[in-house]
Amino acid sequence: MELTLVILYIFVFIALLLGVVLYFYLRKRKKINYLLKKINNLYNINEDDYQGKMKLLEEVRNEVLKLSEKNKNDTTYKNILYLTENIIKELQFAKRFKINRNEFLGNVAHELRTPIFAIQLSLETLLGGAINDSSVNVNFLNKALKHTKRLIELSDDLVTISRLETEMKLSKRYIKINELISEVVNSLSIVAQKKSLNLDFVSEIKDSLQVFCDAEAIKQVMVNLIDNAIKYTNEGGKIIVKTTKEGNNVFVTISDTGVGIPEESLPRIFERFYRVDKDRSREIGGSGLGLSIVKHILELHDSKISVESKLGEGTTFRFNLPV
Ligand code: ADP
């Protein structure tokens, strides 16, 4: 009889224990379901309502924070906290991306406006009678042509940026770097000569040395850097392109004796549309996108570009390419 009682007590005890465990388990599940449902409510908020989404996520984060502090050994709450924080980061990233995109579109519109208005003005002046005035008609046509070229330059650079941003596949192979650079230097020497600039290529590496890169993209890098050196160096100046080898890298330097870049502008020159002297740059041409394209291409080659400059003395750009 006594044994039956003991067994009964044990059963009751086990049943109570199971009941308590089940109660806590269900309570926890209810909380987790509630939190996940709340996170799911994100999809019911208007896509553009950043504040609303953020408010909801912060509420969830605060609730989970409290719960995970109370239940320090419970990994479920930690995981929900991790999930919530990741969604917050994604949302902040998307917001920043949207702001950057809008800024970029604003800049593009602004850059397009100047040449379009100049072309319109030239054409209107010609149609208004200047076409019959032989002392000015050619000037207005040349002005329209110059601004048309600017538009073409800008649209070419925009196409390049868009290709780079959409992860255009680079076709990398082993290239004789001296050959590639000589080709670019030769093609630009006529432009340099027109400005009485001395453009030289000096190499401290073997001509047979190959680097692993996308030839067209690296040509574009060289064109942009040498073209800038030509644009920002006064007549009679000197531009030296140099290749050296350090460890497993070929270093390419482009130095000029040009106008130089003020120290405070150095960290910004690789930004899109950043120009040290806006009027001067526009006057001598250039979309303001050249260096940002250079940086982007080099990043796709795991390479970094550095710049040193002194106002009135000149500028040196330097980057590496793996051998
Ligand atoms: P841009 O089309 O105006 O040349 P870039 O992106 O190529 O645009 O260059 C950004 C700015 O950096 C230029 O507007 C110019 O002010 C400055 N810069 C670039 N290269 C040189 C250089 N070699 N010497 C002096 N300034 C330079």
Q: What percent of the chain has pLDDT over 70?
A: 98
Q: 185: Cβ below 6 Å to ligand 1?
A: no
Centre of ligand 1 from the C-alpha of residue 278, in Å: 10
Centre of ligand 1 from the C-alpha of residue 275, in Å: 6
The reply to whether 242 and 102 lie within a common domain is no
Q: 154: Cβ below 6 Å to ligand 1?
A: no
The CATH number that applies at residue 178 is: 3.30.565.10
Residue 167 confidence (pLDDT):
67
For 32, the token pair is 């987790």
Quick: pLDDT tens for 18-31: 999 999 899 888 98
For 283, the token pair is 């006057």
Nearest CA to ligand 1 atom 4: 286
Quick: pLDDT tens for 302-311: 999 999 999 9
Centre of ligand 1 from the C-alpha of residue 234, in Å: 14
Q: Give the number of the atom of ligand 1 that is nearest the alpha carbon of residue 292.
A: 6
The reply to whether 16 and 142 lie within a common domain is yes
Quick: pLDDT tens for 76-133: 889 999 999 999 999 999 999 999 889 999 999 999 999 999 999 999 999 999 999 9
Question: What does the alpha-carbon distance between residue 295 and residue 161 come to, in Å, rounded to a whole number?
Answer: 11
Quick: pLDDT tens for 277-301: 877 776 777 889 999 999 999 999 9
Q: Which 3 state secondary structure label does DSSP give 137? A: helix
Q: How many domains does the chain have?
A: 2
The reply to whether 296 and 212 lie within a common domain is yes
Which residue range is the domain that position 262 belongs to?
174-322
The pairing of strands 198-203 and 238-246 is: parallel
* Burial class for 141, CB neighbours closer than 10 Å (0-12, 13-18, 19+): middle
Q: Give the number of the atom of ligand 1 that is nearest the alpha carbon of residue 288.
A: 8
Q: Which of 201, 161, 166 has its CA nearest to residue 294? A: 161
Q: 257: Cβ below 6 Å to ligand 1?
A: no
The reply to whether 104 and 235 lie within a common domain is no
Centre of ligand 1 from the C-alpha of residue 111, in Å: 16
The reply to whether 237 and 207 lie within a common domain is yes
Q: Which of 229, 215, 251, 247 has its CA nearest to residue 309? A: 229
Q: Which of 237, 228, 234 has its CA nearest to residue 269? A: 228
The reply to whether 162 and 192 lie within a common domain is no
Final residue of a structural domain among 168, 184, 202: 168
Q: What's CA 305's distance to the chain center, in Å?
A: 14
Q: 314: Cβ below 6 Å to ligand 1?
A: no
